[in-house]
Chain A
Amino acid sequence: MARIATQTGFADTLGTWKARWGIGRMDFLVPPGLYAIGRPTPDAPVLVTANYKMSYDIVRLTLDSRNCWLLVLETYGINVWCAAGKGTFGTGELVRRVTSSGLARVVNHRRLILPLLGAPGVAAHQVKQRCGFTVSYACIRAADLPEYLDNGLATTPAMRRLTFTLYERLVLIPVELVLTLKALAVISGLVLLACGVLGGLTAGLTAFGAYIGAVLSGIVLGPLLLPWLPGRSFAVKGAVAGLVWALCYRYLTTAAGWSIAATLAALLVLPAVSAFYTLNFTGCSTYTSRSGVRKEMRLGLPVMGGAVLAGVVVLLIGRLI
């Protein structure tokens, strides 16, 4: 049985930082199977997690100086919640891993402790039927595990309440930025070229800066200011962030000599760009529903497309007259 460390060194910290920035995020696969934390007896609790670097790290660190079993499922490097949504952190994999690890011979109880966000993938009653183990959904955050274990495996209401704090939103932003870099480089290059050809170098550079700012407003500002931006819709929140950006940028770059058409175009295009990126953040959020996002897309995407098109038309008309 492999025993695992419950304290991290520099390499682990560096790894977490790299994962947050999307650098080799999938190179951290922890081999699935049963592990020992401390010196667990057959009575020690069995905790279940995913083989995503951060899931595994957070759980083992939280369990420092305790004795328990850790059953790591094969989720192909995906975190518990996303893997549960896909079904890889699921009933089938759990039952398979319980059987292949010979857990029933290692422990003399029949209880598995699962992260609450694994529940979208695991049917507790089927696990019981298929391998005899009872599933207890402990808590959402690994940080609550010590309290859960110390309180005789009792979940408090706060342990099953999702949050989306400023810090929780902040740590999601780097990877969103990295995933957008390619599209950002291509589109901002095209904006620079098109506006440069149309109105000269200054106009090109001004438009280039305006576009990058709108993307950043949608990816960084929208998510950070989420609870304070008006409306329930992510697209509306993003559009407001983009509008604020457009007005500030227009005011700060007055020296670039904005025409009325260019100002109007900026007020049409930039909020639409930000709205698109903030709408995309629904994928990271902890409270949006698929049906809600579908509704936002059905109503929002045509409006965003229309606004961008109208902005381009206004710019062209402005050049002609």
Chain B
Amino acid sequence: MKGFRYLKDVATLELDRETCIGCGRCVEVCPHQVFAVADRKAGMVDRDACMECGACALNCPVKAITVDSGVGCASGMINEWLQERKLGRLGGGSCCD
């Protein structure tokens, strides 16, 4: 994204080019322009820009894309971690639950 770059080499996004049918849905749904289609196959042109929202994987009709998507905020993840261990929740709460 223009003016902003997050950590390098952390995204869990994977594309299986063998399975890809080049329909271009991933290009359409990605808000960070990670994909481009050339010669009827999608390719990852900016993998580090991926924010793991999961839109591409869910909308890929042949399941050629995988990504570990989910809550991405620190307090949400601390709460997930606490709840897994049945330790209650962090005070203040998260903005979207």
Interface residues of A (CB under 8 A from B): 78-79, 82, 84-86, 116-117, 119-125, 137, 140, 155, 157, 160-164, 175-176, 179-180, 182-183, 226-227, 232-233, 276, 279-280, 282-284, 286-297
Contacts and interface: CB of A to CB of B under 8 A. Distances in A.
A140 B7 contact: no
B7 A283 contact: no
B55 A119 contact: yes
Interface in B64-92: 68-78, 91-92
Given A120-B54, A137-B28, A85 B4 contact: no
Contacts of A295: 7, 10
Interface in B25-75: 25, 28-33, 49-55, 58-59, 61, 68-75
Contacts of B11: 289, 291-292
Contacts of B69: 85, 120, 290
A292 B69 CA distance: 11
A232 B58 contact: no
A283 to B, nearest CB: 2
Nearest to A231: B7
Given A124-B25, A291-B52, A297-B77, A286 B91 contact: no
B61 A125 contact: yes
Nearest to B29: A119
B58 A121 contact: yes
Contacts of B75: 280, 283
Contacts of A284: 73, 95
B59 to A, nearest CB: 5
Given A164-B4, A227-B4, A280-B75, A289 B54 contact: no
Given A117-B31, A161-B33, A279-B74, A179 B95 contact: yes
B31 A116 contact: yes
A226 B4 contact: yes
A23 B50 CA distance: 33
Report the interface size class on chain B.
35 or more
Given A176-B95, A290-B52, A232 B6 contact: yes
A295 B2 CA distance: 23
A295 to B, nearest CB: 5
B80 to A, nearest CB: 10
Contacts of A287: 1, 4, 6, 32, 49, 51
Nearest to B54: A120
Given A283-B94, A287-B49, A116 B70 contact: no
Contacts of B25: 124-125
A179 B93 contact: yes
B24 to A, nearest CB: 12
Nearest to A277: B74
B6 A125 contact: no
The 7 closest A-B pairs by CB, nearest first: A283-B73, A119-B55, A82-B96, A119-B29, A290-B72, A289-B52, A292-B7
B6 to A, nearest CB: 5
A290 B33 contact: no
B31 A280 contact: no
Contacts of A84: 53, 55
B96 A179 contact: no
B12 A291 contact: yes
B90 to A, nearest CB: 9
A183 B92 contact: yes
Given A232-B5, A233-B7, A291 B31 contact: no
18 contacts: A82-B96, A85-B54, A85-B69, A116-B29, A117-B53, A120-B53, A120-B54, A120-B58, A162-B32, A163-B1, A183-B91, A232-B6, A289-B72, A290-B77, A292-B10, A292-B11, A292-B72, A293-B77
